[in-house]
Amino acid sequence: MIKRIKIVVIGFGSIGRALAKVIALKRKTINNKYGILIDVVGVVDSKGMALKADGFDEYELLKLCEVPRSGVNLFKPYAYQGVDLDVLYNSTQPDVHIELTPSEYSSGEPGISNIIYAINRGVHVVTANKAPLVLKYREIMSSALSKGVEIRFRATVLGGTPFIDTLMSLRSHDIERIEGILNATSNFILTEMHEKLVDFNEALRMAQALGVAEANPTLDVDGVDAAAKMVIISNILEKPLKIEEIYRESISRVTLRDIIDAVRQGYIIKSITFFDVRGGKASIKIVKIPKSDLFAQINGIMNGVRIRSDATEIVFIGRGGGGIETAHSILDDVISIALHYS
């Protein structure tokens, strides 16, 4: 028996478009493999919506990816001017809400309101937007529980990997310590500084030229993004931290001199986020690590996490993000929900 899963995608930037492409390419395979047919019934951006209650076909999904930014309201004949979740939900009756609005850490909006709306409508949520979880993890999880819906967020930490699920699955372990290279942009910049012996500003410019860093790189470079990820991890481990409690050192203060001195002594410099789970304290520090340390091999846009429990130690390495990688993590979450509720 084939189960049809109707999804709405809120936010249609690079990740939303990657998701639409991957669904267009893989929905038939996923249907054959799991008996689940994923139908995108609505796509929303800041200015409007594109709605089709019986689901966009593969061709339409690819065409949707070609509309200009904030232009889904141009996608005729499915276009709708302005954003109205009541209209979206009433006309499409979604099963899963995919929240891809940008992470905004002061208010958490529009992510928080959107997710709460979905929960109240009894709709499962997959989010790549970290801010709602960083600011309102408990509230979101407890209202999801009371409404019987699932919240999945594999894309939020080590977005190109199933790290979140792996961490959650260590149920019998007492997790003592987490150490992570959690921000791909910072790690890329530090790697460039080591490999090309350039200073921070030059490495940042290269990262920006390659699209690895944004025009305003503050969230990445100053550790806000890494701190946000550790807040999510801390909530999973039921030792919730607030983002402002995490001490942060910015990689912008690392000089080429620091790099050269470290290398001469047999070390390399990394930005590592530490979480002492028992002590309930986290910090992002610029540290010298031996070249033989596993973390010294995690370079460029790769991320990694070391999990130490009372029973074992695991290191998990993979891409932090990237459109296609993150799209797969979102899709894995959708499939998990579909399998769980079928």
Binding site for a copy of itself (CB under 8 A): 22, 26, 29-30, 33-34, 160-162, 165-166, 169-174, 292-294, 297, 309, 311-319, 322, 324-325, 327-328, 331-332, 335-336
- CB nearer to a copy of itself: pick between 252 and 309: 309
Q: Cβ closer to a copy of itself: 70 or 169?
A: 169
Q: Do residues 160 and 317 lie in contact, with contact meaning Cβ atoms separated by under 8 Å?
A: no
Minimum CB distance to a copy of itself smaller for 23 or for 243 = 23
Q: How far apart are CA 302 and CA 181, in angstroms?
A: 8
CA distances from 220 to 7, 10, 124, 161, 331 (A): 30, 23, 29, 19, 25
**Beta strand pairing call for 151-152 and 175-181:** unpaired
* CB-nearer residue toward a copy of itself: 72 or 305: 305
Q: How far is the CB of 267 from a copy of itself (least distance, A)?
A: 15
For 221, residues 6+ apart whose C-beta sits below 8 A from its C-beta are 185, 186, 189, 204, 213, 250, 251, 252
In the complex, least distance from residue 322 CB atom to a copy of itself, rounded to whole angstroms: 8
3-state SS class at 118 = helix
Residue 197 or 311: the one with the smaller Cβ distance to a copy of itself is 311
Least Å from the CB of residue 324 to a copy of itself: 5
Least separation in angstroms between residue 339's CB and a copy of itself is 8
Name beta bridge partners: 5: 38
Report in angstroms how near the CB of residue 237 gets to a copy of itself at its nearest: 11
Question: Is 196 annotated as catalytic?
Answer: no
Considering the candidates 6, 21, 52, 229, report the single residue annotated as catalytic.
229
Residue 136, burial from CB neighbour count under 10 angstroms (0-12, 13-18, 19+) = middle
Identify the bridge partners of residue 49 per DSSP, sorted by sequence position: 44, 80
Give the integer Cα–Cα distance in Å for 41 and 168: 31
Q: Which positions are annotated as active-site residues?
A: 229
